[in-house]
Amino acid sequence: MLLEVHDLHVEFGTRDGVAHAVNGVSYRVDAGETLAVLGESGSGKSVTAQAVMGILDTPPGRITGGRVLFQGRDLLRLKEEERRRVRGAEMAMIFQDSLSALNPVLTVGDQLGEMFTVHRGMSRRDARLRAVELMDRVRIPAAAQRVGDYPHQFSGGMRQRIMIAMALALEPALVIADEPTTALDVTVQAQVMDLLAELQREYRMGLVLITHDLGVVADVADRIAVMYAGRIVETAPVHDLYKAPAHPYTRGLLDSIPRLDLKGRELYAIQGMPPSLTRVPPGCAFHPRCPLARDVCRTDVPPLQAVQGPGAEEGERASACHFWRECLHG
C-alpha cells in the first residue's frame, strides 16, 4: 500500500474554542489509484491533506493522533529534514490557487528547473531543457519560447498546467491535488482534469483528488471517500457509490448534481448548513440535516462500518450511518 492514513486527528485552537477539523480520518491509496476526497467546504479535506504532506500550520493547527504510513514509513515520526526530502521528490501537492503557489518573481523555467538542479544536481542548462520538456508534456503551446515568462503572464488554466508540471517533475509516487480546477472556467476545468487523469495513468502514481464537486470525479476516480464535519462518512468504489449510496449525506450530494436525463426536475439541495467544527453536534454530526434521523442519531456516534452490497465483494465499502441498509435500499 502506497499511503495509509490511520485515525488521524487534527485540532485548531480558535477564539471560539478547539476546532476538531479532522476527527479520526482513515484512508488508503494504492500505487496507480485515484482516491477522490469529497465534501462541502469546511469538512476538513485540506487540513487532512496538509497533515499528510507535513505542511500544516503549527500553530494554530496540531496533529493530536494517528499515523500516516507512506511506503511503510510513518511520516509523523520523521525529522523535518527527512520529511522535506520526501516532499517534492516522493510526494507532491497541487493547489487550487496557482498564483500564490508559484513564485511571482521567478520565471516558470527557473522554477521548474530548480526541481532538477536542487533535487537531481543537474546543470542549469540541462535543467532548462527538462523544464521545456515538462511544459510540452503538460501541453503549454510554444513551450521553448515561453520558458522565460513569469507566472502572471500565463492564463489561469496554463498556470495550473505549470503547477501540475512542477508536481510531476521528479515523478513522485503520490500526488495530492487540492481542488486543482476549482478556480478555473468550466471548459478549462475539464481540460485540466483530463490532463491530470492522463498523467496519473501514464506515471502510475497514486492520486488523492480533493474536490467539493461530485461532477468532476465520476470519470477520473477509482474510489471515493466522502467527508463530513472532519470524518469520513462513506467510502466506496466510485461506480457503486453512484449506483447506490449507503449514507444519506452522499445521497443528498448525488441528488443535487444536475443531470441531463432528469432535465426539468427540481434539484434537491441538502437543507441547512454544515456545523462549525468547534460545535460539532452530538451523535451523528449530520443528524440536524438528515431526512432519516431518529433518536439514536442524536446520541450515538455511528462508527464507519463495513457495508454489504454492491462493491462489497472487494471489502471496500463502508458507511458511518446507523441506518445504512435503509439508505442503500431506499
Ligand X SMILES: Nc1ncnc2c1ncn2[C@@H]1O[C@H](COP(=O)(O)OP(=O)(O)O)[C@@H](O)[C@H]1O
Residue numbers at the binding site for Mg ion (CB under 5 A): 46
Decide whether 180 or 230 has the Cβ nearer to ligand SF4: 230
Q: Indicate whether 44 belongs to the interface with ligand X (CB under 6 A).
A: yes
Q: Indicate whether 45 belongs to the interface with ligand X (CB under 6 A).
A: yes
The grid cell for 181 is 480546477
Which option in ligand X, Mg ion, ligand SF4, none does residue 277 bind, with CB closer than 5 to 8 A by kind? ligand X
Q: How distant is the alpha carbon of residue 198 from its chain centre?
A: 17
Which option in ligand SF4, Mg ion, ligand X, none does residue 284 bind, with CB closer than 5 to 8 A by kind? ligand SF4
Q: How distant is the alpha carbon of residue 169 from its chain centre?
A: 20
Scan for cell 531543457, then name that residue. 129
Distance of closest approach, residue 46 Cβ to ligand SF4, in angstroms: 23
Question: Of residues 7, 16, 57, 219, which one binds ligand X by CB under 6 A?
Answer: 57
The grid cell for 104 is 511571482
Distance of closest approach, residue 226 Cβ to ligand SF4, in angstroms: 11
Distance of closest approach, residue 21 Cβ to ligand X, in angstroms: 3
The grid cell for 16 is 471560539
Q: Indicate whether 60 belongs to the interface with ligand X (CB under 6 A).
A: yes
Q: Indicate whether 12 belongs to the interface with ligand SF4 (CB under 6 A).
A: no
Scan for cell 449530520, then name that residue. 286
Sign of CA dihedral 164, 166, 167, 172: positive
Q: Is 265 in a helix, a strand, or coil?
A: coil
CB atoms within 10 A of CB 37: 29
Q: Indicate whether 21 belongs to the interface with ligand X (CB under 6 A).
A: yes
Sheet holding 231-237, edge to edge: 91-94, 174-178, 206-211, 34-38, 223-228, 231-237, 318-319, 305-306
Question: Of residues 12, 27, 95, 323, which one binds ligand SF4 by CB under 6 A?
Answer: 323
Distance of closest approach, residue 196 Cβ to ligand SF4, in angstroms: 32
The grid cell for 176 is 495530492
Q: Indicate whether 47 belongs to the interface with ligand X (CB under 6 A).
A: yes
Span 169-188, contacts to ligand SF4 by CB under 6 A: none
User: What is the rounded distance in angstroms from the CA atom of residue 113 to the CA atom of residue 5?
Assistant: 32
Which option in ligand SF4, Mg ion, ligand X, none does residue 223 bind, with CB closer than 5 to 8 A by kind? none
Residues of this chain that bind ligand SF4 (CB under 6 A): 247-248, 284, 286-287, 290, 292-293, 297, 302, 321-323
